[in-house]
Structure 1
């Protein structure tokens, strides 16, 4: 356990040092993220903070990691570096969606086909169903690319992506340690520390954004980590006290906010006759900000929701199978728009009755203007 703590502290320290240095380079190079479009910040903010996260993670893992994992981590790191390069290039000079998809496919193909990190069966949904190799490859590539881009889409307010990534990697890190997968656990803790170091500069009033350099590489790492989690859990002996009976549902629960938010905005866009990839401000975190919450409050609320949801799924997984849990998860999506409507209604009522001065009303109207959210 000591080596895991050392890996977390090392990556945290490196990230705390690296992120402001990256920020200085970005400012000097004038590679600043401009406001406008679906972006809700109002000033010129440095992006590419993901480079600092990557440095903290890699240097810590290289220092404390040992090659004792059954996985070939060379292919994983190749994919991570390729995703980081693509995200950095996109932050500096935007890539076309086509070129981004090609690079994502290449990185994922390397990990899935050469690294053999893939969805090999239907697991606890249908335990005796082994997927044909080509279907396994295709499904794995589709899932990884989808989850990677889903995570990229939630990087819309300060502190959200970093806190969600910290929560997932810390949770998986503990579980991997309990099942004696020390190398993978160390990778998780190294990533947790690196994300926490970045959050120091991104929480509240952000000094730097992670940019696509961070959100794409983190989404790629998290999606692969969840597949590894499901594979290892499925292979565990039934007598193992840390075996999860519904690993697919727990993986979705850990990734619940990117999953729900992406599914929601894609549905709204398609029903509106638009491309599901067209940018807008319909994301749940955007709505929470428009109803008066600060970035820190909105990120904290979403993080608490993710934690509570994960605990609930973990608590009932011992006596409810994956099929029933997935039905419960999909059914719970109904309460998201209900909550948002109640939140908007409360804000409108509070705004109308609050004894603001004329100047405060003007300012709050500019900041918290309620838009149609579908």
Structure 2
């Protein structure tokens, strides 16, 4: 059985069981806060979808180990490395009292484990001056790697706001990683990316469009770490892969995080960890996806929630497509990073100022 099929089936079944028996565990696992500034669901929903994804990956690589010890052991070691990030995120889903700093520290621990066990260290970032520091002081490589992995993991948690948003973005990015890994002949990384796609597909069956289950912090940190670490390993193992390939590939969640910090610290002068309702996906939900007044019932809100995500999938593709096409050229990739940043800011301010082009606005008057 392929890792794609195995991870999909296990994730599908596990999450079905979580949804089916939600009435039993709901008081521990459901996101019952539907009035928060970042809450856009109408009823309590289980937020432990990450468990299905984790088990899907685990079973898929356990089976794969007996087919190919090299690929199977790679995946199993990567799962061991992701445990701190996943466990502390999952603990937040259950207890609602694990702080952001603790979760970031756990993700950094996962990055250190991957660096030690899988030699996953960034040895270059293709920036003059910083590369010289990395060569002169190895601890700089460790610090940059931990910062990058923790940052990407947190970025996926930040964009996890609507049905299918973070998970489909992860599918798009994993597809890009799998393609380039295939081009350079890195089978373990390619299979690990494909396994994540399968597990996410099993999750999406129940999450999009009906929103029967959420990723939760455990799931968001898991997929963020998985993607970040595969990106580090791919560029560390193959010098022909530009270090800017994964940066452009993950540009949407990364830039969303950077812009969020700028917006909160510089514009609002509040703590960067303070939640608000001004993320791009939240603005699209409120101002772009519009329903008639009589459609704003529970079913209408779920529909509106789900129709928000495709806008961001397209935005993610604006970065992912050139990343896949020009994965060797750091100069071209840098230019597209700049183009994406400008495009994102233009879209954001157009929505804020009610200057969004009419063809962007989705209306449903039924």
Q: Is the TM value for this pair above 0.5?
A: yes
Q: SS state of the match for residue 210, structure 2?
A: coil
What's 1:296 paired with?
Answer: 306
Structure whose alpha-carbon radius of gyration is higher: 1
Q: SS state of the match for residue 279, structure 1?
A: coil
2:248 counterpart (234, 246, 253): 253
Distance 1:211 1:70 in 2: 27
Query: Is the 1:8–1:189 contact (alpha carbons within 8 Å) kept by the matching residues of 2?
Result: yes
Deviation at 1:226, TM superposition (A): 1.0
Structure 1 pair 184–331 and aligned structure 2 pair: CA distance change class (3 A): closer
Structure 1 pair 274–336 and aligned structure 2 pair: CA distance change class (3 A): same
Q: Which runs of 5+ in 1 are unaligned?
A: 235-242, 361-374
Q: After superposition, give the CA deviation of every residue in 1:143-162 in whole Å (9 maximum; x if it has no partner).
A: 11111111111101110111
Structure 1 pair 69–196 and aligned structure 2 pair: CA distance change class (3 A): closer
Structure 1 pair 233–202 and aligned structure 2 pair: CA distance change class (3 A): same
Structure 2 residue 236 is the aligned partner of structure 1 residue 231: yes
Give the TM-score of the pair, scaled to structure 2: 0.83
Q: Which runs of 5+ in 2 are unaligned?
A: 290-303
Query: Is the 2:53–2:203 contact (alpha carbons within 8 Å) kept by the matching residues of 1?
Result: yes
More divergent stretch after superposition (43-52 vs 223-232): 223-232
What's 1:50 paired with?
Answer: 50
Deviation at 1:283, TM superposition (A): 1.0
What's 1:90 paired with?
Answer: 92
What's 1:64 paired with?
Answer: 64
Query: Is the 2:7–2:198 contact (alpha carbons within 8 Å) kept by the matching residues of 1?
Result: yes
Structure 1 pair 108–59 and aligned structure 2 pair: CA distance change class (3 A): same
RMSD over aligned Cα atoms: 2.9
What's 1:333 paired with?
Answer: 341
Structure 1 pair 314–20 and aligned structure 2 pair: CA distance change class (3 A): closer
Deviation at 1:123, TM superposition (A): 4.3
What's 2:189 paired with?
Answer: 184
More divergent stretch after superposition (49-58 vs 115-124): 115-124
Distance 1:300 1:349 in 2: 17
Deviation at 1:222, TM superposition (A): 0.9
Q: After superposition, give the CA deviation of every residue in 1:121-141 in whole Å (9 maximum; x if it has no partner).
A: 234868984532211111111
What's 1:99 paired with?
Answer: 102
1:172 counterpart (162, 166, 177): 177
2:208 counterpart (203, 208, 212): 203
Deviation at 1:228, TM superposition (A): 1.3
Deviation at 1:281, TM superposition (A): 1.2
Distance 2:190 2:340 in 1: 31
Query: Is the 1:71–1:115 contact (alpha carbons within 8 Å) kept by the matching residues of 2?
Result: no
Aligned residues: 338
What's 2:11 paired with?
Answer: 15
Q: SS state of the match for residue 19, structure 1?
A: helix
Structure 1 pair 124–274 and aligned structure 2 pair: CA distance change class (3 A): closer
Query: Is the 1:51–1:213 contact (alpha carbons within 8 Å) kept by the matching residues of 2?
Result: yes
Aligned pairs for 1:101-180 within 5 A: 101-123=104-126, 129=132, 131=135, 132-180=137-185
Deviation at 1:186, TM superposition (A): 1.4
Deviation at 1:314, TM superposition (A): 4.2
Query: Is the 2:155–2:253 contact (alpha carbons within 8 Å) kept by the matching residues of 1?
Result: yes
Q: SS state of the match for residue 69, structure 2?
A: coil
What's 2:315 paired with?
Answer: 305
Query: Is the 1:27–1:46 contact (alpha carbons within 8 Å) kept by the matching residues of 2?
Result: no
Distance 2:343 2:192 in 1: 35
More divergent stretch after superposition (167-176 vs 155-164): 167-176
Give the TM-score of the pair, scaled to structure 1: 0.81
